[in-house]
Amino acid sequence: MDYQGILDEVMAAVWPLIGQGRVANYIPALAAVDPNRFGMALATVDGDLFGVGDWRVPFSIQSISKVFTLALTLARDGDDVWRRVGKEPSGNPFNSLVQLEYEQGIPRNPFINAGALVITDRLLQLTGDARGVLRDFLRAESGNPALDFDPVVAVSEAEHGHRNAALAHFMASYGNIENPVAEVLEHYFWQCSLAASCADLARACGFLARHGQRADGERLLTRSQAKQVNAIMLTCGTYDAAGEFAYRVGLPGKSGVGGGIIAVIPNRCGLCVWSPGLDARGNSVAGVEALDRFTTLTGLSVF
């Protein structure tokens, strides 16, 4: 398949949408990003890489990090992880508090903020350094040793992190956070601050296209666990828009408020698209459209 030609065609098709939507403005470092950026990359399971636009420009990965922390935790903990977090779509915004009280401090899934905080807590317990383990994993899988945190974003997340702090304290009151809340929050804010490009992330999600096998051939997840992560991305990866995303794109995907979205075509490739303008539910406007166009043009989806 002519992936480069297809990416060129996708970019031309979404051109009018680039700059639409609103750039995340809850911290100054994200609000300052140029809304007119657009990049898209595709990394095949055999190691070929294609891209268009700003595909080599690093951006704030934000909630995309939640896929990798889940995988790293699942690899170490197996099914035990599901005692502390569910696998159902929440139907609520990513930072919502409302379900936690009537569901006794057990978050609906690992991709809403509450669930991601539980996963970070567990990864911290298992490794002693959740954010470091995540950064090293992303460096290894992307092949980019320069991939790193953005300290300005991390510090700013902490300064504006009242809602995440509320979620973590609330879950701690139910006994669902094991480490000191301040430490969990610190690791979570730093994990969200990682900066990576579309090229980096398309490569880094390759293990999910390879049924759990890492870039060096080592196995991170069992085939069944890789299926589980992909399934949760499909049903929960874009929050209260997961139904719409599955309908339009038909792939496991995970978005972040930095405007990035990763998507996986099992057996074939990892994809990443980035454009900072977000819709009302926190997903990149041009990014979702680009993935929609990609699967429509190629006929490649999981359905």
Active site amino acids: 63, 66, 188, 239, 257
Q: Cβ(303)–Cβ(288) under 8 Å? A: no
**Contact string (CB under 6 A) for ligand DON, positions 229-258, x = contact:** --------------------------xxx-
Decide if residue 85 touches ligand DON (CB under 6 A): no
The HSE-up count of residue 217 (CA atoms within 13 Å, CB side) is 0
The HSE-up count of residue 190 (CA atoms within 13 Å, CB side) is 18
Q: How far apart are the C-alpha atoms of 230 and 209, rounded to whole Å?
A: 9
Count residues near ligand DON (CB under 6 A): 12
Report angle CA 58, 23, 163 to the nearest 5 degrees.
Answer: 95
In the complex with ligand DON, which residue's Cβ is closer, 234 or 257?
257
Q: How far apart are the C-alpha atoms of 178 and 124, rounded to whole Å?
A: 9
Q: How far apart are the C-alpha atoms of 243 and 9, rounded to whole Å?
A: 26
Q: How far is the CB of 167 from ligand DON (least distance, A)?
A: 9
Residues 264-293 close enough to bind ligand DON by CB under 6 A? 282
The correct pick among 3, 94, 190, 294 for binding ligand DON (CB under 6 A) is 94
**Contact string (CB under 6 A) for ligand DON, positions 133-172, x = contact:** ------------------------x------x--------
- The closest alpha carbon to 237, from 71, 125, 94, 23, belongs to 94
Q: How far is the CB of 190 from ligand DON (least distance, A)?
A: 10
Contact footprint for ligand DON (CB under 6 A): 62-63, 94-95, 113, 157, 164, 192, 255-257, 282
